[in-house]
Structure formats: C-alpha cells, structure tokens
Amino acid sequence: MPSFQQKFTLRMLLLGVALGLVACGSKDMEKPASQVAAKVNSGEISVHQLNYVLTRTGVGASSPETAPKIRREILDKLIDQELAVEQAVEKKLDRSPEVLMAIESARREILARAYIEQITAAMAKPTIDEAKKYYSENPQLFAQRRIYNIQEIMLPATAGVADELRGMLDSGKSMEDIANWLKGKEIKFAAGNATRAAEQIPLELLPKIHPLKVGQGLILQSPQSITVMRLAASQSVPVSEEAALPRIQQFLGNQRAAEAAKQEVKTLKSKAKITYMGEFSNAGTNAATQPAATVIQGGTNNSSNGSASKSSASAADIAVEKGVVGLK
C-alpha cells in the first residue's frame, strides 16, 4: 500500500497533468527570459503556465492592486508543485500503472471537455429580452424572492406513515409533536433547521414552498425516504431586474450549453456502434427498468390544496440542498 508521502506526491504529479498537456515541450530548448517565471532545479515554470492557471481559476480579472500578490501566490504554488513532480519522476512514480492510468484518464477528460467547449462556444448568447422574460416568469426567484427558515424531519419510507404525518400537519401539530409521535412508534428519524434563500431550493420544489405561510408545511416522499417540512419563518429579500439580468444571462447560457452538450452526445451515440460486453451486456435493460422516484406533496396546514398531488422527480430534485446553478 502506498505511503502517505507517495500518495501526496502522486496527487501533486496529477495536478501538473493539465498544465503538461497544454504547455508541454522539451526542457532542453531555451526559453526567452521574459517567458520564464521561475527556475526550479533543472525545471522551469513559464509565464504561460502561470497565466493558464490564472485563467482557469477565475482570478485573472483581479484588481490592479491585488494582481501582483495573486500572481506571486499562484507562482509559489506552481513551484511547490514542480518540486513534488520532480521527486515523483525521480522515484519513477510516473511509470507506475496507477499513475499512467490516471494520466490517461485526465487526458481523455481534457480532450472530451475541449470538444464540448468547442461545440458550445459557437452558440448564441442569451439576449437581454430572454433574461427579462425569465425574470418576469420566475418572480419567486427575484421580485418576490424570500429567505426561508425551514424545519425538517427526515425518516425512511414506511408504509402508511406519510398519511399519518400529513394528518398531523393538517391538524396543526408542531414538529416537536411529530417527533414525539415518531419516537413512540420507534421510527428512526433525523431533525434539523435550515435557512435557505430561494435560489438554493430546487426549481421543482420552490413553487410548493413559496406560497406557504409561517406554520404551514408539506411532505415530500420518495421510495427511500419521507421528509416533513414546515416553514418556521421567512423574509422578503427581492432582487431588482437590473441586478439580476447579468446572472440570468449567465444561467441561461450555462443551461443552453448543457443542453447542447447533452444533445451532441446523444447524436454521437446514435451514430456510433456500441456493444456492451460480459456482465454489462444487460446494462441498458437494467437501467431502463429502474423505478422512478416520486414526490408527494401535501399536509399544508390551512392550505387550500387539501389533496396530495404526485409528480415524477429524481432523488436529487427533492434534495433541498440543491441550488439553482448559476444564480448563486
């Protein structure tokens, strides 16, 4: 089993893979002094490598006052990395099967990402009108944005329990009462209290939470679990259209690029000859027969919607922790 030092060295070696694929070249060739940021033993760190890291980490657009300090910090980290890489090569870690496999995996990932980025780079950017339309169609995220304090009780899915819990919510029972009832039934559960802004709640769930008044609640049910939620407090914190439009354009652009990438892969698959072998020969059939998770809403105290409604969703969709990517 590799030692801690070997694992650390391996990680540092892999950190240099991306830089090596982009800025590879013979170290025997002399670089102009202006292109070399630092010399480390027999190795060199180029300005191009430094700029690449700055670009990929998103700190390249720092203010003129902080830019020199940030560039120096990045360079120091690259020096640390170079020292570790040199030690890894000296110990011939770059020839080990594990490292070679990791390098090949990183290479494939980089090439695949580069192809998808090339496909999506040519796409038209979302317009201001599209962003304004999204703003007006999603008032709960912007003009009517709220910050919610939500009490939660989560428990494994048990037959008949959801109906009992919904009845307790409808009758105005407190979360403490519900917890005591579960204890009496010897049903294990986890309770918590979380404060989340509207953009930190899944879009599928937000329309169900937004209309709730303090004290009202709902129940989410999947094949694996049941979640009882009650709104303990809320605060109105709207976002103006002017402030929201740039973020909306970014979100719509990311959404459009993701959809284009998904469609491109689907097209490539339709044209490719793919044969699952051995134990994977039935992989497609097994995946298709997996049951879908469901969300069951109900139990809104004093709510006009007394009946439970059902809609299909994945487990990830009903996880409150998932936010709206791009709008944070």
Using the predicted structure, report yes or no on whether residue 121 has a pLDDT greater than 50: yes
Same domain flag for 154 and 288:
yes
Percent of the chain exceeding pLDDT 70 equals 74
Return d(Cα 219, Cα 300) in angstroms, integer. 8
> Is residue 180 domain-shared with residue 206, that is, in the same domain?
yes
Domain boundary among 121, 139, 162: 121
Identity of the highest mean pLDDT range in 29-43, 64-78, 199-213: 199-213
Q: Does 201 have pLDDT greater than 50?
A: yes
Q: What's the number of domains the chain is made of?
A: 2
- Res 109: pLDDT: 95
Lowest mean pLDDT among 190-204, 228-242, 302-316: 302-316
Do residue 143 and residue 233 come from a single domain? yes
Report yes or no on whether pTM surpasses 0.85: no
Q: Among 72, 102, 121, which residue terminates a domain? A: 121
Beta bridge partners of 236: 146
Average pLDDT over residues 72-101: 93
Answer yes or no: do 168 and 21 share one domain: no
pLDDT, one tens digit per residue, over 15-40 is 554 445 444 444 444 555 568 989 99
Q: Which residue has better confidence, 123 or 21? A: 123
Domain span at 109:
4-121
Same domain for 312 and 224, yes or no, is yes
Q: Say what the pLDDT of residue 27 is.
A: 46
Question: How many Å apart are CA 93 and CA 41, to the nearest integer?
Answer: 19
What pLDDT sits at residue 160?
82
Which of 266, 145, 135 is CA-nearest to residue 206? Answer: 145
102 and 30 housed in the same domain = yes
- Are residue 76 and residue 168 in the same domain, yes or no? no
- Could you report the per-residue pLDDT of 149-168, keeping only the tens digit for each? 999 999 999 888 998 999 99
Average pLDDT of the chain is 80
More confident: 319 or 110 = 110
Residue 39: predicted pLDDT: 92
What pLDDT does residue 61 have?
57
Based on the fold, state whether residues 87 and 223 are members of the same structural domain: no
With 60 as the cut, is the pLDDT of residue 300 above it?
A: no
- Cα 253 to its chain centre, rounded Å, is 16
Please indicate, yes or no, whether residues 145 and 109 belong to a single structural domain of this protein: no
Q: Are residues 141 and 107 in the same domain?
A: no
Give CA angle at 15 (11, 16), nearest 5°: 125
Q: Are residues 224 and 328 in the same domain?
A: yes
Q: Would you place residue 5 in the very low, low, confident or very high pLDDT band (cuts 50, 70, 90)?
A: very low
| Residue 9 in this model has a pLDDT that exceeds 80 | no
Same domain, 24 and 47: yes
Least confident of 49-53, 150-154, 298-302, 322-326: 322-326
- Please determine, for residue 8, whether its predicted confidence score (pLDDT) is greater than 60: no
Q: Minimum mean pLDDT among 1-5, 54-58, 241-245: which range?
A: 1-5
Residue 314 has pLDDT above 50, yes or no: no
On whether the CB atoms of residues 313 and 297 are closer than 8 A, the answer is no
pLDDT at 233 over 60: yes
Instruction: Indicate the residue among 121, 139, 158 that finishes a domain.
Output: 121
Quote the CA–CA distance of 62 and 187 in Å, as a whole number: 53
Burial 150-176 (b: 16+ CB within 10 A, else e): bbbbbbeeeeebbeebbebbbeebebe
